[in-house]
Chains A and B, each alone.
Chain A
Amino acid sequence: MALLEVNNLCISFGGLRAVDDFNITIEKGELYGLIGPNGAGKTTVFNLLTGVYKPNEGIIRLDGKDITRKSTTEINHEGIARTFQNIRLFKDMSVIDNVKVGLSERFKYSMIEGILHIGNYKKVEKEMDEEAMKLLSVFDLDKERDTLAANLPYGKQRKLEIARAMATNPKLLLLDEPAAGMNPNETGELMDTIALVRKEFGMTILLIEHDMKLVSGICEKLTVLNFGRVLCQGETKTVLSDPEVIKAYLGE
């Protein structure tokens, strides 16, 4: 059974069909790319998958379970985590606290225990700290644990956003233009990070990206969107040599 199965997904904003008859099947462990020209509806697909928008039609199944009309929070609990095109960190909180927010669904104690610092508070906080530090060291952020997220350099902010998403222990990770605004060095480093996430956590990833070097370098499969419709779908090599894709997106 596929991890993510999307059938006939549609959404209109007024008269505009932003996403029309979108289908995708992602197997567990795959690294899948979603590409297409600006305004093709890539981020809209992400927003549909994470419940920010509710689709007009279509079904989204994660691990066989219908999650189509659930809220963003519920969908995260079901196992989809994401990052954003324009970085959205909790910028007035420390790096480790950003990750601990992501952990808070898995490491619980009651509000009373939290306010009085009694009961499970100390034990659970310690476990959270350990887990958070483990994650941060994977992303090479452990030295910045007490820095405010806003004060991190750009590349590390991107990494922290991925770390925070990973903290929610997702089945599927959505990355929205992770390499946007990065120089080639940083992009290279990001590719290593993504490879590491796959290796360490066996994560299934769906990513939107414009950087073709990154896309052709790491994605196993691609879907190309154009004007809200799927233009082409399949193995990276086949897709990138498709004449329609070259015409619509890559340029002849």
Chain B
Amino acid sequence: MKLNKKSKDNYITYAIVMVAYLIFQILSATGNLSSHMTGLLVPMTYYAVIAVALNLCVGILGELSIGHCGFMCIGAFSSAFFSKLTENVLAWPIRFFLAFVIGIAFAALFGFLIGIPVLRLKGDYLAIVTLAFGEIIKNVINAFYIGVDGNGVHFSMKNSMELNMEPDGNLIINGAMGITGTPHNSNFTIGIIVLLLSLFVVQNLINSRDGRAIMAVRDNYIAAEATGINVTRYKMMAFVLSAAIAGAAGVLFSHNITTLTASSQYFGYNASIMILVYVVLGGIGNIRGSVIAACVLYLLPELLRGFSTYRMLIYSIVLIVMMIVNWSPRVIEKREKLAAKIGFGSRKKIAR
């Protein structure tokens, strides 16, 4: 079967991810991976997943969201809550699968609810409001106390004493202390599977009727309306899907750490900006680019720990180099010539 250029492009992306997976697996099997590195593998996958999600929102839909960690937070907490609740009831594969369903569903639901006011805005205003919602989600979760005992679920927003639970009650969400002891079900293989699935969903979407409509809205919404595209519907579709994928990243996240707290370090403004950096440096609208950028930029500061003093200096130089390689018109021209020589054809000339 002759592949057209777009599906060929998609397969290259899947191949890159799988090759990277194999390399890490071989390194790990032969004992060449330090325990520190092994610990970085799962975070690398969920940051790649959320970078894909954010690129759907920023690059394909064209709306700058800087609150995506909020959706990740919702996915993380809803799924961790579920897993804690059913820890001794369900076998882990089923439970973890359902945790994904729940995390994704909740993130999508909140994507929809937040999308209703947010998608009425444009540009900078939209960015500011998503930022605010991201912070609100984090802070509200910090005030949640939820426990379960024989009488059912107890809920409070004051403190754990207010729950009035039986002595044998199980405190699940303990305010700012978060959720402790979520089962560690995430591993590198599952992370890669989730990444491949989200790539599959996003890349296929782009090459479908709905994806084209979404990109039409991005490029010119006035023309899109006049061409019979229901702008609100497609904006919402892309935003909800993006939130849902971010939720999946959150599920991986929460099942990879012992104590899940809605802290600024993981879900705050800085974390959202960091993911935006992955997307921008990987190339806005370039899904493969965001995966690569997320992996490289996540691992780099960790790998540079040996250089201690010069760590952030090297990191920033890498950021600048990536920016030039990906965005400078001259470099793009050179890259295209090189690609044409090798025989891949020019990437810029075909639509992304």
> Which residues of chain A have a CB within 8 Å of any CB of chain B?
50, 52, 71-73, 76-77, 81-82, 84, 88-94, 97-98, 100-102, 104-105, 107-109, 111, 113-117, 121, 124-125, 128, 146-148, 151, 164-165, 167-168
> Which one of B34-42, B120-128, B166-174, B200-208 contacts A?
B200-208
Docked pose: A108 CA to B213 CA in angstroms: 12
Known interface pairs A116-B204, A168-B228; A94-B350 also in contact (CB < 8 Å): yes
Query: For A93, what are the chain B residues with a Cβ–Cβ distance below 8 Å?
Result: 212, 215-216, 219, 351
Contact: B352 with A92, CB < 8 Å?
yes
Query: For B229, what are the chain A residues with a Cβ–Cβ distance below 8 Å?
Result: 73, 101, 104
Contact: A88 with B228, CB < 8 Å?
no
Query: For B230, what are the chain A residues with a Cβ–Cβ distance below 8 Å?
Result: 73
Query: For B231, what are the chain A residues with a Cβ–Cβ distance below 8 Å?
Result: 73
A84-B226, A89-B223, A115-B204 given. 10 additional CB < 8 A pairs? A72-B225, A76-B225, A82-B226, A89-B220, A92-B219, A92-B352, A93-B212, A102-B228, A104-B209, A146-B351
Interface flags for B224-267 (1: CB within 8 Å of A; 0: not) read: 11111111000001000000000000000000000000000000
B349 within 8 A of A: yes
Docked pose: A236 CA to B229 CA in angstroms: 35
Query: For A73, what are the chain B residues with a Cβ–Cβ distance below 8 Å?
Result: 225, 228-231
Residue among B210, B219, B285 making CB contact with A89, cutoff 8 Å: B219
Contact: B227 with A102, CB < 8 Å?
yes
- Number of B residues with CB within 8 Å of any CB on chain A: 33
List the A residue with the shortest CB-CB distance to B214.
A101
Contact: B226 with A72, CB < 8 Å?
yes
Contact: A115 with B220, CB < 8 Å?
no
Listed by A's residue number, 23 A-B pairs whose Cβ atoms lie within 8 Å are: A73-B229, A76-B227, A91-B219, A92-B215, A92-B285, A93-B215, A94-B350, A101-B224, A104-B229, A107-B209, A114-B204, A114-B208, A115-B201, A116-B204, A117-B204, A117-B207, A117-B208, A121-B208, A146-B5, A146-B349, A148-B351, A167-B227, A168-B228
Known interface pairs A88-B220, A93-B219, A94-B350; A114-B225 also in contact (CB < 8 Å): no
List the B residue with the shortest CB-CB distance to A94.
B351
Query: For A116, what are the chain B residues with a Cβ–Cβ distance below 8 Å?
Result: 204
Which of A50, A90, A98, A128 has most chain B Cβ within 10 Å?
Answer: A90
Which of A73, A76, A89 has most chain B Cβ within 10 Å?
Answer: A73
B323 within 8 A of A: no
Known interface pairs A73-B231, A82-B226; A101-B216 also in contact (CB < 8 Å): yes
Docked pose: A56 CA to B230 CA in angstroms: 24
Query: For A101, what are the chain B residues with a Cβ–Cβ distance below 8 Å?
Result: 212-213, 216, 224, 227, 229
> Which residues of chain B have a CB within 8 Å of any CB of chain A?
5, 201, 204-205, 207-213, 215-216, 218-220, 222-231, 237, 285, 348-352
Contact: A77 with B352, CB < 8 Å?
no
Contact: B212 with A100, CB < 8 Å?
yes
Which of A89, A101, A121 has most chain B Cβ within 10 Å?
Answer: A101
Contact: B208 with A90, CB < 8 Å?
no
CB distance from A85 to the nearest CB of B (A): 12
Query: For A90, what are the chain B residues with a Cβ–Cβ distance below 8 Å?
Result: 215-216, 219-220, 223-224
User: Across chains A and B, which 3 residue pairs bring their CB atoms closest together, nearest first?
Assistant: A114-B208, A94-B351, A76-B228
Contact: B208 with A115, CB < 8 Å?
yes
Contact: A111 with B227, CB < 8 Å?
no
CB distance from A235 to the nearest CB of B (A): 30
Contact: B222 with A88, CB < 8 Å?
yes
Docked pose: A107 CA to B212 CA in angstroms: 13
Contact: B351 with A97, CB < 8 Å?
yes
Contact: A114 with B210, CB < 8 Å?
yes
Query: For B225, what are the chain A residues with a Cβ–Cβ distance below 8 Å?
Result: 71-73, 76
CB distance from A84 to the nearest CB of B (A): 7
Docked pose: A102 CA to B351 CA in angstroms: 17
Contact: B351 with A77, CB < 8 Å?
no
Docked pose: A35 CA to B207 CA in angstroms: 41
Query: For A82, what are the chain B residues with a Cβ–Cβ distance below 8 Å?
Result: 226
Docked pose: A164 CA to B227 CA in angstroms: 8
List the B residue with the shortest CB-CB distance to A102.
B227
Docked pose: A128 CA to B212 CA in angstroms: 13
CB distance from A193 to the nearest CB of B (A): 19
Docked pose: A147 CA to B227 CA in angstroms: 20
Query: For A109, what are the chain B residues with a Cβ–Cβ distance below 8 Å?
Result: 208-209
Contact: A81 with B226, CB < 8 Å?
yes
Docked pose: A158 CA to B77 CA in angstroms: 51
List the B residue with the shortest CB-CB distance to A103.
B209
Docked pose: A97 CA to B285 CA in angstroms: 16
Docked pose: A50 CA to B228 CA in angstroms: 11
Query: For B205, what are the chain A residues with a Cβ–Cβ distance below 8 Å?
Result: 114-115
Query: For B285, what are the chain A residues with a Cβ–Cβ distance below 8 Å?
Result: 92
Residue among A94, A108, A164 making CB contact with B209, cutoff 8 Å: A108
Query: For B208, what are the chain A residues with a Cβ–Cβ distance below 8 Å?
Result: 109, 111, 113-115, 117, 121, 125
Residue among A91, A107, A121 making CB contact with B220, cutoff 8 Å: A91
Contact: A92 with B351, CB < 8 Å?
yes
Query: For A124, what are the chain B residues with a Cβ–Cβ distance below 8 Å?
Result: 209
Query: For B204, what are the chain A residues with a Cβ–Cβ distance below 8 Å?
Result: 114-117
